[in-house]
Amino acid sequence: METDPAVPQPQEPGPAGLRAAGPGPGGTLAEPLASLSGSQLWSRGHLLTEQANALSENLDQLDTAALVELFCENDRRPQEAVAAAAQPLAEAVDGIAARLQRGGRLFYLGAGTSGRLGVLDAAECPPTFCSAPELVQGVLAGGAAALLRSSEGLEDLFGAGVADLEQRGFGPGDCLVGIAAGGTTPYVLGALSMAKAIGALAIAIACVPTDQVAMPCDIDIRLLTGPELLTGSTRLKAGTATKMALNILSTGVMVKLGKVYGNRMVDVAVTNAKLEDRALRILADLADLSRQRGRELLQQAEGSVRLALLMAAADIELEAAQGAMAEHGPGLRSALAALGAQLPASPVPAESAAP
């Protein structure tokens, strides 16, 4: 398979990298991952995500209660893996937020389960944070059809990830989170290589250690959940840890962008009865407004909880609130301070919160 010479190819794995199933010097992969094709079978058995879990060797012989207990016990590992990756996750939140504050966008990209998890997290951002749909995008190998019918064969196309990003106008000011549980997916590696080449922020998420697979990136997040109870099924612990990491990334970034006050989603999109109720409760809790007054103010603020709170606290009209937010925002806290206003029920300061 031909690759674009303008896009740097992944470095050839070292002795701990992919091993050729057939003869080869040192048993290492003699060609870059970009050249993988269906006719070239490389052994990935040494990868952490492909190893057999000794705890589930008799999985098919367990009674139901024992099977469920085994899964419950083993599913503690994703939390531990995410906690161990706290530092690169924090770096990623700050790096993404800085780019988005300058007008950039965030792209999650992957194939199979990894890609679907990215699409899921991206799809949750507009209703939760009232963000523009194009601000956080999920890119899945095979497109929308692959959400319902698996298209895992497409992950072997190194140039496909690059093409999918180019189609969306991906540029130097944007951020890419390339997700590949086993770290070897050419679709993801190609996209990460392209992101680094043009100066975009390239972030990798994988569930194998760096000494097994190196990935081209600026920030490397490794979620080491260990072998799956069902060997190789990375939709299990690896998928759980990945979703936890994406939750942290998107929520952390939106906090940095001023879309949260205390722990309230003050930019929630009021698009249905449940979300209208949540918006009215936020107004009641933070601004001490009755539901009737809250609904009136929310209508005046054209559905913006953040603007409604500012209008209530500073006793100003919508146009003045919009101007204050444009000048002193985007965070509600900074706009309130600039106007010398305060919400009657401000969140408890962190130092006063219960341990």
Q: What is the pLDDT along the chain (355 residues), one digit of tens a residue?
A: 334 333 333 333 332 333 333 323 333 323 344 434 443 446 787 899 999 999 999 999 999 999 999 999 999 999 999 999 999 999 999 999 999 999 999 999 999 999 999 999 999 999 999 999 999 999 999 988 888 877 666 788 899 999 999 999 999 999 999 999 999 999 999 999 999 999 999 999 999 999 999 999 999 999 999 999 999 999 999 999 999 999 999 999 999 999 999 999 999 989 899 999 999 999 999 999 999 999 999 999 999 999 999 999 999 999 999 999 999 988 999 999 999 999 986 555 544 444 4
Taking 3-state DSSP, the helix, strand and coil percentages for the chain, each rounded to the nearest 5, stand at 50, 10, 40
Site of tokens 């930019």? 267
Backbone angles phi, psi at 271, to 5 degrees: -115, -5
Token reading at 292: 């009737």
pLDDT of the residue at 27: 30
Q: How far apart are CA 310 and CA 317, in angstroms?
A: 9
Q: How does DSSP classify residue 113?
A: H
The CATH class of the 54-256 domain is alpha beta
What is the DSSP pairing of strand 201-206 with strand 219-222? parallel
User: What is the DSSP code string of 80-98?
Assistant: HHHHHTHHHHHHHHHHHHH
Q: Which residues are catalytic?
A: 124, 155
Beta strands in 76-150 (DSSP E): 106-110, 136-140
E strand or H helix at 171: none
Same fold, 54-256 and 273-345: no
Give me the half-sphere count of Cα atoms (radius 13 Å) on the Cβ side of residue 252: 19
What Rg value do the Cα atoms of the chain yield, rounded? 23
User: What is the DSSP code string of 296-344?
Assistant: HHHHHTTT-HHHHHHHHHHT--HHHHHHHHHHH-SSHHHHHHHHT---T
Residue-wise burial string across 217-229, b where 16 or more C-beta atoms lie within 10 A, e elsewhere: bbbbbbbbbbbbb
The separation between CA 92 and the C-alpha centre of its own chain, rounded to angstroms, equals 10
Q: How far apart are CA 338 and CA 322, in angstroms?
A: 13
Give me the half-sphere count of Cα atoms (radius 13 Å) on the Cβ side of residue 125: 28
Q: Is 12 exposed, middle or buried (0-12, 13-18, 19+ CB in 10 A)?
A: middle
CATH architecture, domain defined by 273-345: Orthogonal Bundle (1.10)
Domain ranges of the chain: 54-256, 273-345
* pTM of the complete model: 0.83
